Amino acid sequence: MTRVPLERKVLNENDRLAAELRQGFLAAGTLCINLISSPGSGKTALLERTLASFEPGRRVAVLTGDIQTDNDAQRLARYGFPVHQITTGGACHLDARMVEKALTQWRGAAIDLLFVENVGNLVCPTSYDLGEEARAVVLSVTEGEDKPLKYPATFYRADLVVLNKIDLLPYVPFRIELAREYIRRVQPDVEIVEVSCTTGEGLDAWRQWLDARYAGRTSGHAS
């Protein structure tokens, strides 16, 4: 019996595809955002408010992942931008292959801003690079404020945490200061915005973050 080194990532194939996607986004000037959260944290509502805020003609597109149904795509299609549902048929996360396949339908179309709404799950999507430039993790105040500590792998890889449903703060025991502290413990460099997709509070800060990432997309992330 001989032991031979095998130095490669387990998800080598996914990482290779994701690197290709990232290269493609860079060449096309596309900013790709991977949105991750638990089921029901408000990823789709955030996207609805975001799409509604864009002027018609803005080159924005959405890929939305779910295990079953195209309900989210139907909700999002109302805003007039290209939306495609990826139905994983059981898989609890999107992978780079699914994104690549879904994007072929828009081949040749210029997309400035691509949102990828991952399957609602705080565990599995974290291991799968989709070629995104930034990851935004949504945490709503109807959840436990200790979720960053329970799911450190996901929060560690976040570029932005969106604390959602802040209009409900008076009615729930969620301690937002504690949530911020837990998020920063896991990822000290992360940015945090606090929003309500019901009242619209804080959505300016989210939009500013998007605009800043868009403005910095080619210079800041060439590696």
Rule CB under 8 A: say whether 9 interacts with another protein: yes
Q: Which of 24, 77, 87, 92 binds another protein (CB under 8 A)?
A: 92
Smallest separation, CB 94 to another protein (Å): 11
CB-count exposure of residue 89 (10 Å: 0-12, 13-18, 19+): exposed
Q: Which of 39, 178, 185, 200 binds another protein (CB under 8 A)?
A: 185
Nearest CB to another protein, comparing residues 181 and 204:
181
Q: How far apart, in whole angstroms, are the C-alpha atoms of residue 18 and residue 99?
A: 9
Query: What residue type is assigned to position 87 of the chain?
Result: T
Q: How far apart, in whole angstroms, are the C-alpha atoms of residue 111 and residue 60?
A: 6
**Region from 26-34, 42-50, 145-153, 215-223 binding another protein, contact rule CB under 8 A:** 145-153
How, if at all, do strands 134-140 and 191-194 pair? Answer: unpaired
Query: What residue type is assigned to position 194 of the chain?
Result: E
Rule CB under 8 A: say whether 8 interacts with another protein: yes
Nearest CB to another protein, comparing residues 15 and 167:
15
Rule CB under 8 A: say whether 164 interacts with another protein: no
Nearest CB to another protein, comparing residues 14 and 50:
14
Structure tokens at 101: 């396949």
Smallest separation, CB 147 to another protein (Å): 13
Rule CB under 8 A: say whether 128 interacts with another protein: yes
Smallest separation, CB 119 to another protein (Å): 10
How, if at all, do strands 31-37 and 134-140 pair? Answer: parallel
Nearest CB to another protein, comparing residues 14 and 44:
14
**Region from 56-64, 68-76, 120-128, 194-202 binding another protein, contact rule CB under 8 A:** 120-128
Q: How far apart, in whole angstroms, are the C-alpha atoms of residue 90 and residue 138?
A: 22
- Cβ partners under 8 Å of residue 121, min gap 6: 36, 38, 39, 92, 93
Rule CB under 8 A: say whether 154 interacts with another protein: yes
Alpha helices, DSSP H only, in 54-146? 71-77, 96-103
Q: Which residue has the tokens 């999507």?
A: 125
Residues at the site binding another protein, with contacts judged by CB under 8 A? 1-14, 91-93, 95, 123-124, 126-128, 149, 152-154, 156, 182, 185-186, 188
